[in-house]
Structure 1
Amino acid sequence: MFSFISNLKTEDKPILIAASFILVILAVGTGYTLATQGTVPLLSATYLLQQLQTGAFLGIVAAGMMIVILLGNIDLSVPWTMTAAAMMAATVGGELAVPAGLAVGLAVGLLNGFGVAFLRIPSMIFTLGVDSVMRGLMVAHTGGFAPADQATDFMRFLASGKLVGIPVAIFIWGIVSVVIAVGLKRTAFGREIYATGNKEAAAFLSGVKTRRVIVGSFIISGLCSGLAGVLLAGYSAKAYQGMGNPFLLPAIAAVVIGGTRILGGQGRYLGTLVGVILIVLLNSVLSIMQMPEAGRQVIYGSVIVGMLLVYGRNAKVSA
């Protein structure tokens, strides 16, 4: 077993480890529910589909976050990008609700990309500032109260509806996943992301338009956050203050757990996908065990720090 792991490619090891932890979480959760409730809901198809449905929101956010982290950057504007997209979609309503939410994500991504690529401000600082700006704008928009606008029927269908017995949100997550995975592996833009993440100066000297790559990556992250915000509003049937706050740390944790180097240049989308499933199931089991939110945040933070110690200290290699 250990020789098998040692023979794996560097980027495959975190995926295998994360998949192993998923099995451990399922075993622990099943044992706990069997001992306390006499049932095993974690293994039922209905329960797993429900978890994947709610996990789709995190999965979409994590997909965009991975693109930015591959560059060695980070997007801390996710919480209020999601919230602003949800609020504006609910405010506009009608057929333009979803486009309005996506437009918010696009605008925030473009602003983040411009600040990091052209103004050369560290992404951690700039995106955190943008997050505060979005929070202020939304507080001004609502007057400090919860918005009265409700999600449209189409938003509710996208988040809570079903096709052939499978939640539509899972299909949307699947489409986003295919686009991201194929884009990273099969397109010139994907190769440019890896090259820029490995060494921006070298990529620039080799002809890569690194500023365009950085702006494009932040736009993708913004669009993913906007889409997730719209879906979350549809799932909740309304938009509300701070609805995106619980998604930042889990999204970063999912990306890092999946083996994407926080310093950029290496990572596979399959790893992020496995990381999201691990986080979703971990959160589910912690909820069953009635773990308070504070404890969950401690666990997420510990996971990120632990993975940084494992991956962040290694030399970056090309994916």
Structure 2
Amino acid sequence: MATGSLPSAQSSWSLSPEDKPILIAGGFILVILAIGTAYTLATQGTASFLSPVYLLQQLQVGAFLGIVAAGMMLVILLGHIDLSVPWTLAAGAMLGTAVGGPYAIPVGLGVGMAVGLVNGLGVAYLRVPSMIFTLGVNAVMRGFMVMLTGGFAPQSIATPLMSFLATGHVLGIPMPLIVWAVLSVLIVLLLQRTSLGRYIYAIGNRERAAYLSGINTRWVIIFAFVMSGGCSALAGVLLAGYSTNAYQGMGDAYLLPSIAAVVIGGTHILGGRGRYLGTVVGTILIVLLTSVLSVMQMPEAGRQIIYGSVIILMLLVYGRQRGATG
């Protein structure tokens, strides 16, 4: 009995596989903050990088990426991926601003959810690999939007409500950050407090076993893709309000970072394991890394090298630990 109780005591003090990546990402955030502070002290004589105003501004910008990553995490937890993010985001913004008025935001969100529904049906019922199907849908959406606009930038502008949600403040807190926080609470409740959340993890671990246990795996997959499309469109609507208009290619910069934020935060790329807190931490890491490189006036080539190296390094660090425990 004594030997049997020892592993239990150790496990109560040891970190879970989901906690380690979060702590590693948090450590990288501290390193990035230290580097940024040292650079601003050396060049400007002030620690402006640590000022609350600057950090709050970075969180406001990071909220757009965080919203996209929230939807992406649900899909990755299933063991799938959504590569239609760039033009789902752009289509939601462009069509929302084109409609305008009180229907702008519902139309934008509806477009994103419709794209997600198509993705879900293709993956769940046609059994096409999600990487291939969503990439094809992204190309279709790109062609569709170019056809609607004639290849030119749309002339529509964001509605006042879209601008408020993107640039407004409540009690000093940026509205995008509030929207991201509300969405985060809903995602956490979904994953931790509902049977649907348990189904998502079960399908990610082994879809066939989940199906044999009585879970309607097809509908769960469709739901996740609809959520991913809706989150992408929501980010597009907010970005349109932030920049006052929608434009082609506005979602191109969010595909790889959203995937990276999810994976860096510890969500298994093959599904079945991950915590939403890790996605939040991964998002903050990417935003701060981008900010530091921008402040240091790093050339684009250097930014890409450092950006990719950090992602690979983090995946190697906790990926090896995960493999050892698995």
Identify the TM-score tier after normalising by the shorter chain.
Answer: over 0.9
Determine the structure 2 residue equivalent to 1:235: 242
CA distance in 1, matches of 2:305, 2:226: 30
The equivalences for 1:1-319 within 5 A come to 7-306=14-313, 309=316, 310-311=318-319, 314=323
CA distance in 2, matches of 1:128, 1:113: 13
CA contact (8 A) 1:256 1:304 kept: no
The gaps in structure 1 that reach 5 residues or longer are none
Secondary structure at the aligned position of 1:291 is classed as coil
1:261-280 Cα deviation digits (max 9, x unpaired): 00100000000001001111
Q: TM-score, normalised by structure 2?
A: 0.92
Pick closer, same or farther for the CA change 1:120–1:308 going to 2, 3 Å.
farther
Percentage identity across paired residues of the two chains: 68
How far off is 1:292 after superposition?
3.2
Secondary structure at the aligned position of 1:314 is classed as helix
Q: TM-score, normalised by structure 1?
A: 0.94
CA contact (8 A) 1:249 1:300 kept: no
Pick closer, same or farther for the CA change 1:307–1:38 going to 2, 3 Å.
closer
CA distance in 2, matches of 1:287, 1:248: 20
CA distance in 1, matches of 2:310, 2:122: 29
Equivalent position amino acid for 2:55 in 1: L
> What is the RMSD of the two structures over their aligned residues, measured on CA atoms?
1.8
CA distance in 1, matches of 2:76, 2:325: 13
CA contact (8 A) 2:159 2:241 kept: yes
CA contact (8 A) 1:57 1:228 kept: yes
Larger radius of gyration: 2
The gaps in structure 2 that reach 5 residues or longer are 1-9
1:26-59 Cα deviation digits (max 9, x unpaired): 0000001110111111111111111111110000
Equivalent position amino acid for 2:249 in 1: G
CA distance in 1, matches of 2:236, 2:324: 36
CA contact (8 A) 1:256 1:307 kept: no
CA distance in 2, matches of 1:316, 1:154: 49
CA distance in 2, matches of 1:307, 1:282: 13
CA distance in 2, matches of 1:316, 1:61: 30
Equivalent position amino acid for 1:311 in 2: G
